[in-house]
Structure 1
Amino acid sequence: MNSSGHNPSVPLQQMSVIKRRLTYMMVLVFITFPFIYLKVNPLEILTAYPSIVSFFGENFFPPDFSGFKNYVPLIIETLLFAVVGTYISAILAFILGLAMSENINPIALVRWLVRTFSSLVRNIPVLVWASLLVYIFGIGSMVGLLALILATLGFLTRSYAETIDDIADTKLEALKANGASPIQVIVNGLMPEFIPSWVNWTLFSFEINIRASAILGMVGAGGIGIMIQTNIRLFKYQEALALIITLVILILLTEFAVTKIRKAIL
């Protein structure tokens, strides 16, 4: 307490209380504003759950696997979409990643162009790519594959470039000083350190692409998703559920296999 009899800690405590109340108000506004703006009543959502559960129970169960053999080609197609889309993207992204890396490419304009292209294709969702390509080329498997390649290319290009930039350039500079060619610098200096990260990023993209391959069918781009959508539109809910269960099992098996592969390689 000072000579005037006032405690200097009191204003600080008051400011702390005001600040805390303002924080609570901001949080409350942040939570409630979306519901008000969208005119959504949370109580209606809660009261709708019993109807949703009842609808699924009456229409989707039990799943109908009787036509499963007819869907095997679509399951294989979905898996191959992810495989082909991932490895084509990985090859192209590695080339673009080198062009985008400051450790490898000294030309700033080229780096900027590649970075801009990577940002463009990465920030357009795969479903948007598929919708655009379906509109341009029509329904077909090639549309789904192109959409996967474009979406994955942007992601992997940035990931590869950042990984390459993070690699210590001492060894690269030593190779350059000894007269090594750019190819020798990449093969002997960069690749040994880059391969573990390359495997991780590529396998991670493959997992994402398995899920995306199924979703692409919803917009007519092929794969198992198109049959899920078709069965739902035809009110064949039990067959749709069988396909959804199959898709979930496929994704889980893919994650398990990818984990085993990653451990075996790394």
Structure 2
Amino acid sequence: MQDKFFLKKRLKSSIILFVVLLVTYGAIIMTEFSLIKGLASIPKAFEWGVTNFFPTTKSLERLPNILNKLFETILVSIGATTVAAIFALAFAIMGSATTRVNSFLSGMARGFATLFRNIDIAVWSMILLFTFGQSALTGFFALFFVSFGFLTRAFIEVIDEASGSSVEALQATGAPYLTTIFQSVIPASLPMMLSWVLFVAETNIRSATLIGILTGTGIGFAFDLYYKSMNYNAASLVVIVIVLTILLIEYISNYVRRVIL
């Protein structure tokens, strides 16, 4: 009986492996990919990068404009994260098994979280383009929707893990619902919630760079504009500024996490 089980499991694994290899082969045929040509093109690609993709004195003149676009991107990202965190906290309290008011509201909160979290941010941007066009508002709502879904799910898990026993203790004493929330749930969950908010803010700043190409705003649009106009020196300056900003934000975020956790 056990041999049949392992044989059946091995057969399923073999079929899955065969399907994966078949799909991979089909992708190679469709894209006309050649490993030999790819490896042979590396030296030329490196040579092109060295000769074209570096800032010059002329491209440095565009630095103030690039920094303004970067500042816009950071503001939109942090704004979307902050607003999403506020809404996510309210929905997480409704959705948590520890603090839910009733099953209907809990299911609704979890459903919204699943919907907004599982639709990719690029898809949200394309959907919102039909309504708001190429504007900072499109990027803001795209970041907000994804952040809201992710943070709601994360906050629900944090509340369930961090405040279960303390909530039961307050409820046993007959404490009102709002007292339980503000004196037990939020204080116990706040450090981990802040850590998740910082993580989402980091992610949003990276995502906003790509979203800017679609929405025509921020640092992403600056890169797209310089790259398509073949101003590779200015485009490389944008990339350097983005990398340095991400490293700085990650350093600040890690420092804040060490302080609050």
Structure with greater Cα Rg: 1
- Contact kept in structure 1, 2:89 and 2:152, CA below 8 Å: yes
Residue 58 of structure 1, aligned match among 28, 51, 70:
51
Give the secondary structure class of the aligned counterpart of 1:252. helix
Aligned sequence identity (%) = 29
Change (3 A) 1:154 1:26: closer
Match of 2:158 in 1: 163
Match of 1:86 in 2: 81
Distance 1:256 1:88 in 2: 23
Match of 2:124 in 1: 129
Number of residue equivalences: 250
Match of 1:4 in 2: none
Residue 186 of structure 2, aligned match among 186, 191, 196:
191
Change (3 A) 1:46 1:34: same
Which structure features the higher share of helix residues? 2
Give the secondary structure class of the aligned counterpart of 1:216. helix
Distance 2:37 2:16 in 1: 25
Query: What displacement does 1:104 show?
Result: 0.7
Matched letter for residue 68 of structure 1? L
- Structure 2 gap segments, 5+ residues each: none
- Contact kept in structure 1, 2:54 and 2:237, CA below 8 Å: no
Change (3 A) 1:104 1:232: same
Distance 2:198 2:75 in 1: 14
- Contact kept in structure 2, 1:35 and 1:41, CA below 8 Å: no
Match of 2:204 in 1: 209
Residue 107 of structure 1, aligned match among 102, 127, 143:
102
Query: What displacement does 1:123 show?
Result: 1.0
Query: What displacement does 1:149 show?
Result: 0.5
Bigger CA drift: 32-41 or 119-128? Answer: 32-41
- Structure 1 gap segments, 5+ residues each: 1-11
Distance 1:95 1:229 in 2: 38
Q: What is the RMSD computed on CA atoms of the aligned residues? A: 2.5
- Contact kept in structure 1, 2:55 and 2:234, CA below 8 Å: no
Matched letter for residue 226 of structure 1? F
Match of 1:220 in 2: 215
Residue 44 of structure 1, aligned match among 26, 33, 37:
37
Give the secondary structure class of the aligned counterpart of 2:65. helix
Query: What displacement does 1:62 show?
Result: 4.2
Bigger CA drift: 22-31 or 44-53? Answer: 22-31
Query: What displacement does 1:135 show?
Result: 2.4
TM-score (norm 2): 0.87
Match of 2:92 in 1: 97
- Contact kept in structure 1, 2:163 and 2:184, CA below 8 Å: no
Q: What does the per-residue CA deviation read over 1:138-187, in whole Å, with 9 as the maximum and x for residues that have no partner?
A: 11111111111011000000000011112352321221122211110011
Distance 2:125 2:64 in 1: 27
TM-score (norm 1): 0.85
- Contact kept in structure 2, 1:143 and 1:221, CA below 8 Å: no
Match of 2:247 in 1: 252
